[in-house]
């Protein structure tokens, strides 16, 4: 009888201890999950891959998740990787600017490796030599030498207007050609063919390949290495690799050859002369090829996207088009084309340009960052190794920043009552991080 009582007590203690251990483990798991920013519950291994739709823009879905959970940052998981989305200017400024040293690394993105596009310098890790050289050159050219680019930009706009008068039905093709011609001229000092220029075509194809890589099928391929061994995938990745490196290398090889003789001044020629004056190394040349290739690829795409958005909103809002034309005529007298010298006298036209970039941003999602250590924001844990992305589209739709009806195209949101530019409104060329 005594033995039975002892065994019963032992069993009871065992059950109680087991329940306590189970409850403790459950609490640890629950706390670790709830300490992350809010987000939809996923499934094992795959995470939240089925919580997002391939048929709607991700940036719109990310904003909706934030609204649903009442948080300006949300958490998603894909194949074990934690992805944090920052939907507010407050969050992106705090994380990417004030805490920039934690968030300045770049994640290794399987999709980018799949299309062999890891060479652009923004993909470099924070403070490595390519990153530092690229940042220095961009600042030097976009700030210090900006005036040197203005004549090229004005000439390109005049060529475009003439071609549009001759063949308005080909406006999309003409926009692509103008953007490619301008960026090749300013970056490398290159002339282009009137039609079907190989460098322009190559840049367009690379940008298309990168966009295509984000479809659900290729996303799955990039995350599951075994699928990359399929013959059809291997052939495609080899094509992407050649195209990507030709985009970078062929214009640069042309630049090196022409720089020894007569050449047109450009970002590339100035940079190459500076390197040669101090004695360039193979690493210097490789970094410069990466940086100039980045300028070419990015400049071609962003210019076309912005101009297409402009054409779209002008077609949708003829009254804004007429008002903008009247503003230009009031400055030029309707007898000449405007120049950059007229810019300060055209606040309404400037507001139209700003609203184009806000209403339909070229990059609706910012470049991804990787955390170098654990961090806490507003009580939410952001683990080391997380991918953190700023949702530019959501920020540019924030009514606290840009006023009411942010889904509508309203240039006046950037103006004061007297028609001058309102400089307190955040600029739309939002660029987060270092």
Q: In whole angstroms, what is the distance from residue 274 CA to residue 295 CA?
A: 18
Helices (H), 259-317: 267-278, 282-316
Residue 108's alpha-carbon distances to 71, 117, 222, 315, 396, in angstroms, are: 27, 11, 12, 41, 27
Q: In whole angstroms, what is the distance from residue 58 CA to residue 219 CA?
A: 14
What 3 state SS string does the chain have?
Answer: CHHHHHHHHHHHHHHHHHHHHHHHHHHHHHHHHHCCCCCCCCECCCECCCCCCCCCCHHHHHHHHHHHHCCCEEEEEECCEEEEEECCHHHHHHHHHHCHHHHCECCCCHHHHHCCCCCCHHHCCCCCHHHHHHHHHHHHHHHHCHHHHHHHHHHHHHHHHHHHHHCHHHHHHHHHHHHHHHHHHHHHCCCCCCCCCHHHHHHHHHHHHHHHCCCHHHHHHHHCHHHHHCHHHHHHHHHHHHHHHHHHHHHHHHHHHHCCCCCCCCHHHHHHHHHHHHCCCHHHHHHHHHHHHHHHHHHHHHHHHHHHHHHHHHHHCHHHHHHHHHHHHHHHCCCCCCCHHHHHHCHHHHHHHHHHHHHCCCCCCCCCEECCCCEEECCEEECCCCEEEECHHHHCCCHHHHCCCCCCCCHHHHECCCCCECCCCCCCCCCCCC
- Would you kindly state where each structural domain of the chain is located, as residue ranges? 12-301+362-404
Residue position matching structure tokens 């719109």? 60
Residue position matching structure tokens 């940042």? 135
Is the pTM of the predicted complex or chain greater than 0.75? yes
pLDDT at 51 (0 to 100): 93
pLDDT at 407 (0 to 100): 97
Q: Along the 434 residues of the chain, how does pLDDT read in single tens digits?
A: 444 444 444 444 455 445 444 544 444 444 444 499 999 999 998 899 899 888 899 999 999 999 999 999 999 998 888 999 999 999 999 999 999 889 988 887 776 777 777 777 677 666 677 777 777 777 777 666 677 788 889 999 999 999 999 999 999 999 999 999 999 999 999 988 888 899 898 888 887 777 766 555 555 666 666 666 778 777 877 888 888 889 899 999 999 888 766 667 888 888 888 888 888 788 888 889 988 998 888 888 888 999 999 999 999 999 999 999 999 999 999 999 999 999 999 999 999 999 999 999 988 998 889 999 999 999 999 999 999 999 999 999 999 999 999 999 999 999 999 999 999 999 887 545 44
pLDDT at 348 (0 to 100): 98
CATH superfamily of the 12-301+362-404 domain: Cytochrome P450 (1.10.630.10)
CA 365 to centroid of chain Cα atoms: 6
């Amino acid at each position: 009888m005594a033995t039975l009582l002892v065994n019963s007590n032992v069993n009871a203690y065992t059950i109680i201890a087991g329940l306590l251990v189970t409850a403790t483990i459950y609490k640890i798991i629950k706390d670790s999950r709830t300490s992350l920013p809010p987000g939809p519950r996923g499934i094992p291994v795959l995470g939240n891959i089925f919580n997002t739709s391939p048929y709607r823009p991700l940036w719109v879905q990310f904003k909706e998740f934030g609204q649903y959970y009442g948080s300006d940052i949300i958490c998603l998981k894909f194949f074990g990787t934690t992805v944090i989305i920052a939907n507010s200017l407050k969050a992106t400024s705090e994380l990417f600017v004030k805490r920039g040293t934690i968030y300045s690394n770049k994640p290794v993105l399987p999709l980018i490796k799949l299309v062999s596009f890891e060479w652009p310098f923004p993909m470099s890790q924070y403070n490595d030599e390519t990153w530092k050289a690229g940042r220095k050159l961009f600042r030097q050219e976009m700030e210090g030498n900006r005036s040197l680019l203005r004549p090229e930009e004005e000439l390109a706009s005049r060529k475009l207007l003439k071609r549009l008068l001759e063949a308005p039905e080909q406006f999309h093709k003409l926009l692509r050609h103008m953007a490619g011609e301008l960026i090749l001229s300013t970056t490398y000092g290159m002339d282009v063919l009137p039609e079907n220029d190989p460098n322009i075509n190559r840049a367009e194809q690379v940008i298309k390949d990168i966009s295509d890589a984000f479809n659900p099928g290729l996303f799955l391929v990039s995350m599951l290495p075994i699928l990359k061994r399929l013959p059809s995938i291997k052939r495609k990745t080899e094509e992407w690799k050649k195209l990507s490196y030709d985009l970078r290398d062929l214009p640069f090889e042309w630049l090196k050859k022409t720089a020894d003789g007569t050449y047109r001044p450009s970002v590339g020629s100035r940079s190459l002369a500076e390197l040669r004056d101090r004695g360039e190394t193979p690493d210097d040349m490789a970094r410069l090829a990466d940086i100039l290739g980045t300028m070419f690829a990015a400049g071609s795409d962003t210019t076309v996207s912005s101009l297409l958005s402009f054409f779209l909103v002008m077609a949708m809002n003829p009254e804004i088009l007429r008002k903008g034309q009247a503003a230009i005529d009031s400055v030029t007298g309707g007898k000449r084309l405007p120049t950059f010298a007229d810019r300060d006298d055209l606040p309404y036209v400037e507001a139209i340009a700003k609203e184009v970039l806000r209403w339909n941003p070229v990059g609706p999602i910012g470049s991804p960052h990787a955390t170098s250590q654990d961090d806490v924001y507003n009580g939410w844990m952001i683990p080391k190794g997380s991918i953190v992305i700023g949702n530019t589209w959501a920020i540019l739709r924030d009514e606290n920043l840009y006023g009411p009806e942010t889904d509508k195209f309203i240039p006046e949101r950037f103006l004061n009552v007297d028609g001058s530019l309102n400089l307190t409104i955040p600029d739309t060329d939002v660029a987060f991080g270092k």
